[in-house]
Amino acid sequence: MIMSRIEAPRDEVTGNLLDRLLDGLPAEAVLTDPDVTAAYAHDMASFCPAGTPAAVVLPRTVEQVQHVLRTATELRVPVVPQGARTGLSGGANASDGCLVLSLTKMDRILEISPVDRIAVVEPGVVNAVLSRAVAEHGLSYPPDPSSWEMCTIGGNIGTASGGLCCVKYGVTAEYVLGLDVVLADGRLMSTGRRTAKGVAGYDLTRLFVGSEGSLGVVVRATLALKPQPPRQLVLAAEFASAAAACDAVCRIMADGHVPSLLELMDRTTVKAVNELTRMGLPETTEALLLAAFDTPDPAADLAAVGALCEAAGATQVVPAEDAAESELLLQARRSSLVALEAVKGTTMIDDVCVPRSRLGDMLEGVERIAEKYRLTIGVCAHAGDGNTHPTVCFDAADPDEARRARESFDEIMALGLELGGTITGEHGVGVLKKEWLARELGPVGMEMQRRIKQAFDPLGILNPGKLF
Amino acid sequence: MIMSRIEAPRDEVTGNLLDRLLDGLPAEAVLTDPDVTAAYAHDMASFCPAGTPAAVVLPRTVEQVQHVLRTATELRVPVVPQGARTGLSGGANASDGCLVLSLTKMDRILEISPVDRIAVVEPGVVNAVLSRAVAEHGLSYPPDPSSWEMCTIGGNIGTASGGLCCVKYGVTAEYVLGLDVVLADGRLMSTGRRTAKGVAGYDLTRLFVGSEGSLGVVVRATLALKPQPPRQLVLAAEFASAAAACDAVCRIMADGHVPSLLELMDRTTVKAVNELTRMGLPETTEALLLAAFDTPDPAADLAAVGALCEAAGATQVVPAEDAAESELLLQARRSSLVALEAVKGTTMIDDVCVPRSRLGDMLEGVERIAEKYRLTIGVCAHAGDGNTHPTVCFDAADPDEARRARESFDEIMALGLELGGTITGEHGVGVLKKEWLARELGPVGMEMQRRIKQAFDPLGILNPGKLF
């Protein structure tokens, strides 16, 4: 790697930057081979614009991160903090001449305490690795984005990611108790606590969750854990219309149930999953609802929910008989995005969250938009949260279709705002939705957002061009 | 009241202020009679310093609040936002010449939605009023500070208050989805959402929770609700030492239980409650632990927890037989602070939260401090959260005792920090602990806290002298 550094084209500015970086980083922690650094240039929103980084740094210690930020401040070089690049909004995309600061090598689990129900981790720990480690202590770390086998805790914190569990267990923000953060100028700040409660000063911890690396770099996190729940049991219900499925969701939630998962797949998604996986999901259905409970008596809860589904017009209700059958149903749901990607080669995944009472209106509206733009738009949704992922399938090589895809994508966000929702339930703003943020927050909200940014990063070197 | 305004001494500055206020407020919304305004000068931390307000304003609409803030900005008059003044840190205390802005007249519940599981309320709604209103829809608003029959939602948000339920249901912060806030200059800003999830921009909602009215004035809140759980059943366990009781707490939490309440009263507190209420709690015990479950089968959970208490050395374990017996035990716990106040006339209530694994060390340390300063210090604690309320009982008329009380109070906070805890688990900083905030947060943390304050309130007119 040090060879590649020397071979790469070195203008004076870059040369100076690299020399300064190497004052505090080992050579193998600084990558400059363009073939290598290109792989770090973007996250999974492949259609979002991305620049060419000057270098990629892979620190292993807090001190090394501090050195990187001090150097970047001194030389006014933009820094793009990065986890596993599984994001869907371009939030980790490089800008031209930036330093990509990958935290993936800081991947130690520093502590797991069953009595205090906390874990202390470095940002590069993979979500699934942490989940398995705490499971050995009878504990669970609930947030479970679809990318959980790859994504890192630091990335989860940066994007405030969600997952299938949120309807019962909430989002990443609710599990972050305290942080160690390296500020733009290289100083180290601790926020929050390792106690169950604490209200000493403004809640800077929560401010960092979802800030997409634009306020500082998380180098350590204290996370809340829960006792491991019983294994969940899943039920599948088929509906003759999306409206009926959404009605079932409303009945289930209004009736006081607390499912551990409540997911919806529309006809387009079901068909795509069948084509990819040969799973044999029922193709005649217009909407498939998956509900799960991890309660002491999940079969009883599923029976009650099944009855509500039938009252809402379900054509068939099939409770899984055991954990293996349940897992199969979840696999179908988890493969939705990949399956929809296979339809036309490229997707734009939207992430509009509406009040769940408006879920039916949202799905109806998306169908209308798909017709208007002559596009395939599959919807899978964390239905219990009203969090929809309308996924526009298009051929990126067809400019007219790509234009229609972009326009439909925007119209879906407009619809979400009109229904009292938000442009992003869990994927974040990144570069994908930054023009939309102002529409959601309004001028006063935007001004205060910018003042926060200014307070933490007066030089604007942290992940510039994202969020705003 | 308009009479009292005219009769009150009016210097030119105050006269101008009052005239401007009355341009946008009805006369009955502006109080200036010193006998009346004195009642608004302080919260329940009666020993904290409080100034004399220039006036008290009681707006009924958002527009009136905006007028107050615009006027205050224009004339550079400090504004002290205020709920029911049940706070315990002096956070709502008046400063000399300030405008006390009481939100108690804005007390409408605007919406309760069982499908979306949210309530939209004005800040002056009393916690218990909201709790009862949502209960009629089969819903619950969990945060339950001891003052829940009096305190307001706006005050709860300002102080990020907790309660007995937190060990299972978390604190106020976790129930605030969105806010309407009047900024220092009178502009209105909306934060957050009415959806279950949302990550559009920095989380300004959480920044306001616990900000003690120092960043803006909350005029509307969208709150998350939960389905109403089954009624909880309580168990009481007696221990021959506080250490054994703390050991039981650790065993219960490490064993994966999720009690709806896990409270501890030390010998001093038990004795005080008996003296006040003649409840006949067991006086020979060194520590009384109360555990509760609101699960489908609370008796089974209590049996398991009872066994763990016995394993930790409980001398007696008494499960309540029904809801009435449970309620009696909770009343004992709820009357602790009043009972301790009766011991010597005045109390200083500390609010140190430690990792629950250090709870035993905390209690042992407080006992040592009580001996050192020759004081009665009763401890009740939200033991499941490690959140202790060491309550120093003293005679305010005895200067030496008052000095010792203050010193012991500080030493308790120092001990909490030493044990990896925080100076405030749920009561906030106010004026009581502002010198301690810097010790907990350190210089970098304090600098960023101040920058946040500066971003929202550049003139420093919002609740000056609190927090910092």
Query: Is 90 exceeded by the pLDDT of residue A46?
Result: no
Cβ atoms within 10 Å, residue B399:
9
- List residues bridging with A214 in a β-sheet: none
Query: Is 70 exceeded by the pLDDT of residue B9?
Result: no
Query: Is 50 exceeded by the pLDDT of residue A4?
Result: no
Query: Is 70 exceeded by the pLDDT of residue B1?
Result: no
Q: Output the pLDDT for position B409.
A: 97
Q: In whole angstroms, how far apart are CA B153 and each of B94, B103, B107, B150, B319?
A: 20, 10, 9, 10, 33
Test B193 with A353 for CB contact under 8 angstroms. Answer: yes
Test A445 with B204 for CB contact under 8 angstroms. Answer: yes
B424 interaction partners in chain A (CB closer than 8 Å): 198-200
Q: Which sign does the torsion angle of CA A374, A375, A381, A387 carry?
A: negative
Share of chain B above pLDDT 90, in %: 91
Test B455 with A452 for CB contact under 8 angstroms. Answer: yes
Query: Is 90 exceeded by the pLDDT of residue A358?
Result: yes
Confidence of residue B163 (pLDDT cuts 50, 70, 90): confident
Calculate how close chain B gets to A89, using CA atoms only, in Å. 12
Which residue among A118, A197, A442 places its CB closest to the CB of B425? Answer: A197
Confidence of residue A282 (pLDDT cuts 50, 70, 90): confident
Test B188 with A356 for CB contact under 8 angstroms. Answer: no
Test B353 with A454 for CB contact under 8 angstroms. Answer: no
Calculate how close chain B gets to A250, using CA atoms only, in Å. 6
- Beta strands at B118-121 and B99-102: parallel, antiparallel or unpaired: unpaired
B66 interaction partners in chain A (CB closer than 8 Å): none
- List residues bridging with A237 in a β-sheet: A289, A317
pLDDT in tens, A132-187: 999 999 999 999 998 999 999 999 999 999 989 999 999 999 999 999 999 999 99
Question: What DSSP string runs through B275-314?
Answer: HHH-----TT-SEEEEEEE-SSSHHHHHHHHHHHHHHTTE
Q: Which sign does the torsion angle of CA B161, B163, B166, B169 carry?
A: negative
CB contact set of A200 (below 8 Å; sequence gap of 6+): A193, B422, B423, B424, B429, B433, B437, B440, B441
Test A386 with B257 for CB contact under 8 angstroms. Answer: no
CATH 3.40.462.10-classified regions of chain B: 233-418
pLDDT in tens, B233-255: 999 999 999 999 999 999 999 99
Interface test with A, best of B182, B202, B207, B257 (most A CBs within 10 A): B202
Interface test with B, best of A89, A179, A183, A199 (most B CBs within 10 A): A199
Q: Which of A53, A394, A60, A386 is nearest to A246 (CA)?
A: A386
A354 interaction partners in chain B (CB closer than 8 Å): 195
Q: Which residue of A has its CA nearest to B181?
A: A445
E strand or H helix at B131: helix B127-135
Test A195 with B420 for CB contact under 8 angstroms. Answer: yes
Tell me the range of A363-367, B45-49, B142-146 where mean pLDDT is highest. A363-367
pLDDT in tens, B69-116: 999 999 999 999 999 999 999 999 999 999 999 999 999 999 999 999
Q: Which residue of B has its CA nearest to A181?
A: B445
Which residue among B210, B297, B452 places its CB closest to the CB of A455? Answer: B452
pLDDT in tens, A180-196: 999 999 999 999 999 99
A153 by DSSP, 3-state: which? helix
Specify the length of chain A in residues. Answer: 468
Q: Output the pLDDT for position A41.
A: 96
Calculate how close chain B gets to A207, using CA atoms only, in Å. 5
Q: Output the pLDDT for position A2.
A: 38
Test B382 with A197 for CB contact under 8 angstroms. Answer: yes
Specify the length of chain B in residues. Answer: 468
Test A199 with B295 for CB contact under 8 angstroms. Answer: no
Tell me the range of A225-229, A283-287, B321-325 where mean pLDDT is highest. A225-229
Interface test with B, best of A144, A171, A181, A202 (most B CBs within 10 A): A202
- Sheet with A314-319, edge to edge strand ranges: A314-319, A233-239, A287-293, A261-266, A376-382, A387-394, A346-349
Q: Which residue of A has its CA nearest to B139?
A: A256
Q: Output the pLDDT for position A14.
A: 85
B160 interaction partners in chain A (CB closer than 8 Å): 199, 203
Mean pLDDT value of segment B412-438: 96
B174 interaction partners in chain A (CB closer than 8 Å): 170, 174
Q: Can you give A199-226 as a three-state secondary structure string?
A: CCCCCHHHHHCCCCCCCCEEEEEEEECE
Please report the ipTM that was assigned to this predicted complex. Answer: 0.95
Task: Tell me what percent of chain A is helix, strand and coil, each rounded to the nearest 5.
Answer: 40, 20, 40
B449 interaction partners in chain A (CB closer than 8 Å): 201-202, 204
A452 interaction partners in chain B (CB closer than 8 Å): 202, 204, 452, 455
Which residue among B203, B253, B296 places its CB closest to the CB of A207? Answer: B203
CB contact set of B221 (below 8 Å; sequence gap of 6+): B120, B121, B123, B153, B154, B157, B176, B178, B179, B180
Q: Output the pLDDT for position B399.
A: 96
Q: CA angle at residue B143 from B142 to B148, to 5 degrees?
A: 115
Task: Tell me what percent of chain B is helix, strand and coil, each rounded to the nearest 5.
Answer: 40, 20, 40
CA pair distance A343, A54, nearest whole angstrom: 36
Q: Output the pLDDT for position A9.
A: 53
Q: In whole angstroms, how far apart are CA A329 and each of A290, A321, A333, B236?
A: 8, 11, 7, 44
A210 interaction partners in chain B (CB closer than 8 Å): 199, 201-203
Test A189 with B421 for CB contact under 8 angstroms. Answer: no
Test B424 with A203 for CB contact under 8 angstroms. Answer: no
pLDDT in tens, A382-423: 999 999 999 999 999 999 999 999 999 999 999 999 999 999
Calculate how close chain A gets to B203, using CA atoms only, in Å. 5
Question: What is the residue-averaged pLDDT of chain B?
Answer: 95
CATH number of B109-227: 3.30.465.10
pLDDT in tens, B16-26: 999 999 999 99
Calculate how close chain B gets to A422, using CA atoms only, in Å. 6
CATH of A2-102, one of 3.40.605.10, 1.20.1440.230, 3.40.50.300, 3.30.43.10: 3.30.43.10
> Is the CATH number 3.40.50.300 carried by domain A233-418?
no
- Sheet with B376-382, edge to edge strand ranges: B314-319, B233-239, B287-293, B261-266, B376-382, B387-394, B346-349
Test B427 with A162 for CB contact under 8 angstroms. Answer: no
Question: What DSSP string runs through B175-208?
Answer: GEEEEEEE-TTS-EEEEE-SSS---SSS-HHHHH
By CB neighbour count within 10 A (0-12 exposed, 13-18 middle, 19+ buried), where does A453 fall? buried
Least confident of A298-307, A339-348, B197-206, B306-315: A339-348
Q: In whole angstroms, how far apart are CA A78 and each of A81, A98, A459?
A: 10, 5, 9
CATH 3.30.43.10-classified regions of chain A: 2-102
Q: How far is C-alpha B93 from the geometric centre of its chain's CA atoms?
A: 15
- Terminal CA-CA length for chain B: 35
Query: Is 60 exceeded by the pLDDT of residue A323?
Result: yes
Longest dimension (CA), chain A: 71
A430 or B282: which leads in pLDDT? A430
CA pair distance A134, A292, nearest whole angstrom: 22
pLDDT in tens, A27-43: 999 999 999 999 999 99
Q: Which residue of B has its CA nearest to A449?
A: B202
Give the burial string for B406-438 (b: 16+ CB within 10 Å, else e).
Answer: eebbbbbbebbbebbbbbbbbbbbbbbbbebbe
Cβ atoms within 10 Å, residue B128:
15
How many contacts does A have with B, using Cβ atoms within 8 A?
262
The answer to whether the CB of B165 falls within 8 A of the CB of B261 is yes
Test A197 with B451 for CB contact under 8 angstroms. Answer: no
Query: Is 80 exceeded by the pLDDT of residue B7?
Result: no
Q: Tokens 């009178």 label which residue?
A: B186
